[in-house]
A and B are shown apart, each in its own frame.
Chain A
Amino acid sequence: MKDAATRDAYGQALVELGADDPRIVVLDAGVSDSSRSKKFGDKYPDRFFNMGIAEADMVCTAAGLATTGKIPFATGFACFLLGRTMDQVLVSVAYSNTNVKLVGTHTGLAVGEDGPSAQMIVDIAYMRAMPNMIVVQPADWEETVQATRALIDYEGPAYFRLGRPKVKAIFDSSYKFEIGKGRVVKKGSDLVIFATGIMVQESLKAMEMLEKENINVTLVNISTLKPIDRELITEMAASHKAVITAEDHNYIGGLGDAVGEVLLDAQISKSFKRVAVRDQFAETGTGPELFEKYGLSANHIAQTVRDSL
């Protein structure tokens, strides 16, 4: 357990897992210091390829490496890693079904001051729409370490969504991450929140406020956005009065839509609200300032809960 950014946990996990597994290779697009893939590069320079600021080349090079039995982690800022490479990801990774792990760091409004061109809010939508692709976003250190290991064991294309800011430890080593499984973080009764990534921490903050008002909320961590845990979502939605989703992503195509699809398929009709970016570009400012102004903060989650009851 450790309070740290998920990108830090990823860098550390790569170093540890890389020691015994020569299949692991890491590529970066010239941001390895920030993405933390540099840690792997420093330790295993022969298996580290810094491709420079050339994401398209990096993704396809990773695909080529995968065809030789390697497990490439192609790492970069999510905005450019995916924004510049939808075609490369579609043809050389997803359609070719190569065992490439795309690791996007610096996601969402949490990125902060670098502004909207650096705040990736459409990546979950991009990747969920891609056949053969799975999408994983861990919430804290422990989950990131375990998910990195799980992605090595999983054969196939994957998108791993990581964040820039430090997040609080949520899980201890007794937690067992499994691709495709959500996890009840806290059991309440009034309403259920499905949250992903940094919004798990934000939801916990909101729940602390609400407890003072005697509102007890259930929180479910959805770290695999695709394939999503239909069973758990159906069960939790059916057993609560209202449903809220929380994500640092545009409200189109992300967790909210994914949960909504499950509810529609299961013919579950409940109060349903999405805490997400409202289909707009934000601005510069610190992550917490942007969360407050653009509706993602604990205050907003708490108010959404009150409005739902």
Chain B
Amino acid sequence: MSESQLTIPDIAELEKLALELRRLALKIIFQAGSGHPGGSFSATDLMTALFFGGILNYDSNNPKDPKRDRFLLSKGHASAIYYSVLAKAGYISEPDLDSYRKINSGRFLSGHAHPKTPGVEIASGSLGQGLSVAHGIALGTKLNGYGSKVYVILGDGELQEGQIWEAAMSADKFKSNNLIAIVDYNKVAQDNITKDLKDLEPLEDKWNAFNWDVHRIDGHNMEAIMKVLQLPLHPEKPRVIIADTIKGKGVSFMEGKTAWHGVAPSAEDYEKALKELQ
């Protein structure tokens, strides 16, 4: 991880890359005829910073390097952006993405990721498990003497799963300061806005009560994202970054809309969206 602050042109580069990744993710959802654009776009800027802002230590030519930092996408339905990022990072190729959600997918690009795809650590698809898995990795890499950092992106909706809070207690108990959870707080779940489905607030107070090192940022402000990701680890507490995001960020007619949780765009909407993502 680079300790130096990124300069403004670097930030601009990351923002440009984030747009490109959104276009790529939307393209593969459009081609597949199904997928989850809303939750992919809310997480895009966070994942762009992690993978391309010098935060994660990884080598896509050696995806099983025991010293690597880990990334987990617990909200596995955002696989379109995940695979797009993995392609950009060199784990898979861009042509591989054409088999997204299709039978006989060469790189096993299932609707929810699986470790058969290079760069993927664990299967996802059932919400609420990723924080525990990430914590297990954080414990294991410490035992192995590496103490790699383990980043996991959680959806806000999945914080309604009780297991998240079991894991929150565990990471506190074991002082797993190499565990960094990022809440993609886009305020919208499949059925309803999160607040009405089951309100998470006061969310910072909850994590504080579980004794985590709590930060809150605008999850679409690349400078703010980089700044918080560049912080040195807390000496003993696990860290949570609550990132306020917008579901469908970048496409005006998708933003904040429950309807865009899990549908592919029509040809017309796809063209309209691409124009906005330039």
Residues of A within 8 A of B (CB): 22, 25, 46-47, 49, 51-52, 54, 56-70, 72, 87-88, 90-92, 95-98
Kindly state whether residue B133 has any CB partner on chain A within 8 Å: yes
How far does the alpha carbon of A69 sit from the alpha carbon of B140 in the complex, in Å?
A: 8
Q: Closest B residue to A22 by CB, please name it.
A: B143
CB distance from A67 to the nearest CB of B (A): 6
**A-chain residues with CB within 8 Å of residue B125 when the two chains form the complex:** 91
How far does the alpha carbon of A63 sit from the alpha carbon of B122 in the complex, in Å?
A: 8
Q: Tell whether, in the assembled complex, residue A95 and residue B139 are in contact, meaning their CB atoms are under 8 Å apart.
A: no
Q: Tell whether, in the assembled complex, residue A25 and residue B143 are in contact, meaning their CB atoms are under 8 Å apart.
A: yes
Q: Tell whether, in the assembled complex, residue B123 and residue A92 are in contact, meaning their CB atoms are under 8 Å apart.
A: yes
Kindly state whether residue B144 has any CB partner on chain A within 8 Å: yes
Q: Tell whether, in the assembled complex, residue B137 and residue A56 are in contact, meaning their CB atoms are under 8 Å apart.
A: no
Contact A68:B132 (CB < 8 A) given known A56-B163, A91-B126: no
Given contacts A69-B144, A88-B132, 5 further A-B contacts (CB under 8 A): A56-B162, A61-B139, A67-B137, A67-B140, A91-B126
How far does the alpha carbon of A101 sit from the alpha carbon of B144 in the complex, in Å?
A: 20
**A-chain residues with CB within 8 Å of residue B162 when the two chains form the complex:** 56
Q: Closest B residue to A51 by CB, please name it.
A: B170
CB distance from B133 to the nearest CB of A (A): 4
Determine the interface band of chain B, counting residues with CB < 8 A from chain A. 20 to 34
Q: Tell whether, in the assembled complex, residue B170 and residue A65 are in contact, meaning their CB atoms are under 8 Å apart.
A: no
Q: Tell whether, in the assembled complex, residue B139 and residue A65 are in contact, meaning their CB atoms are under 8 Å apart.
A: yes
Q: Closest B residue to A62 by CB, please name it.
A: B136
User: What are 14 A-B residue pairs whose CB atoms fall within 8 Å in the complex?
Assistant: A22-B143, A51-B166, A56-B162, A57-B135, A59-B132, A61-B167, A64-B132, A64-B139, A65-B139, A67-B133, A68-B141, A87-B129, A88-B126, A96-B114
CB distance from A57 to the nearest CB of B (A): 4
CB distance from B160 to the nearest CB of A (A): 14
How far does the alpha carbon of A91 sit from the alpha carbon of B121 in the complex, in Å?
A: 12
B residues 161-191 in Cβ contact with A at 8 Å: 162-163, 166-167, 169-170, 173-174
Contact A60:B136 (CB < 8 A) given known A91-B126, A96-B122: yes
Instruction: Choose from B129, B137, B170, B174 the contact partner of A91 (Cβ within 8 Å).
Output: B129
Q: Tell whether, in the assembled complex, residue A49 and residue B139 are in contact, meaning their CB atoms are under 8 Å apart.
A: yes
Instruction: Choose from A57, A68, A69, A70 the contact partner of B163 (Cβ within 8 Å).
Output: A57
